[in-house]
Amino acid sequence: VSNAGVGMVGPLECQSLAAMQSLMDTNFFGLVRLVKEVLPDMKRRRGGHIVVISSIMGLQGIVFNDIYAASKFAVEGFCESLVVQALRFNVAISLVEPGPVMTEFEAKVYEEAERADYSRTDPETADIFTNLYLRNSRDVFASLGQTPEDIAEHTLRVIEAARPPFRHQTNAAYTPMAALKHADPSGALVTAAFYKLVFKYDAVLRLSLR
């Protein structure tokens, strides 16, 4: 089971390249290093199961989560490319894709975001992040967040499955979001939907979450 991860939220201009590289080293290359260690023996034994804790953000990017989403997209692409070869050797790969989870990991990311310096971006972007994104995120976590125990139960079901799924989303509330992206290959539909949700109907979003 590959579960190591770090988070990053905020305007792109306010994040250092070194911090981005460190995040990718943990979230993506950490997984790659693990798979390189365990896969050869699994292939020799012709049996094994690699379970990767991914994220719904490996399927759909979310505003102000640019680098974190990029790392999870990399995880998804890596596993999607590897799974067919692995199956040839009777090795299963499963991606567990949670939405928001109420842990110290998430709390720390958002506490740091509230204290950060946003002087390197323009005032409008800083205002959107602090007064729209952070405020709405708290409501999203309070309303839709899962517990670590819930994610553990989902992961256990994937591990124990007779025929392990390649992808398993833990929060049904996010399934329409993933489906919307695949419904329109041009990307216009999902982009317009998120734009309206963030900039036109944020008050309705907060009210519905509460």
The residues annotated as belonging to the active site are 68
Among candidate residues 146, 77, 47, 72, the one with its CA nearest the CA of residue 106: 146
Alpha helices in the chain (DSSP H): 17-24, 30-45, 66-88, 104-115, 123-127, 134-144, 148-160, 175-183, 188-199, 202-209
Distance (Å, whole) CA 51 – CA 103: 20
Residue 54 CB coordination number (10 Å) = 26
Distance (Å, whole) CA 127 – CA 194: 18
